[in-house]
Amino acid sequence: MLHQDEKKFGALMKKTCVLETKDWRGWKWPEISEVVDYLRRGASIDSNELRVPPARLAEFLKTKVPRRLGGFFRCDGSQTGAEPEKAFFANMLWTPDRLFYLRTAGRLYTALLSVADLGAGGDAASAEFLQKDRRGKVLHDVASELVAL
């Protein structure tokens, strides 16, 4: 069963096209949403319970997928030091159809935060990504932008 789950998750990650190209316009966003939902619910597609499977999360964090997604969701380059062309999400025009990206980001970071609480025996790789990787610091960047208002 675990082997099938591993193959299914790997195939789903591949279908996102995030590993194939850095250009977010070439990514398959419905499949990215599926990966995020898979991480949030675990292997049970019918469950609404937030239960991140450690093996899948570890596999996810070892790939370029979270870093590329984090780069896409970065805030304005002037505050974070990011190159302006890297802050794609922050520089998009706000239209209703673009809320999909915001929902995907919310679900992704909720999944990462749900296992990052080291005081509660959380996942060190998730915590490290959120605290130290420049692309994982989106939540810090958002907080900084809000303070600057």
Per-residue pLDDT of 18-76, as tens digits, reads 999 999 999 999 999 999 988 877 544 444 555 556 677 878 888 899 989 988 988 76
Mean pLDDT value across the chain: 77
Close Cβ partners of 47 (under 8 Å, ≥ 6 residues apart):
41
Work out the number of other CB atoms within 10 angstroms of the CB of residue 22: 13
146 CB-contact burial (10 Å; exposed 0-12 / middle 13-18 / buried 19+): exposed
Distance CA 24, CA 37 (A): 19
Task: Say what the pLDDT of residue 93 is.
Answer: 86
pLDDT of the residue at 111:
82
pLDDT at res. 122: 52
Measured in Å, how far apart are the chain's first and last C-alpha atoms?
Answer: 50
Q: Is the pLDDT of residue 145 over 90?
A: no
Give the pLDDT score at 1: 45
Whether 6 has a pLDDT exceeding 80, the answer reads no
Interatomic CA distance for residues 73 and 70, integer angstroms: 5
DSSP string, the chain: -HHHHHHHHHHHHHHT-TTT-S-GGGS-HHHHHHHHHHHHHTT-TT--S----HHHHHHHHHSSHHHHHHHHH---HHHH---GGG-TTTTS---GGGHHHHHHHHHHHHHHHHHH-GGGT--HHHHHHHHHSTTTTHHHHHHHHHHH-
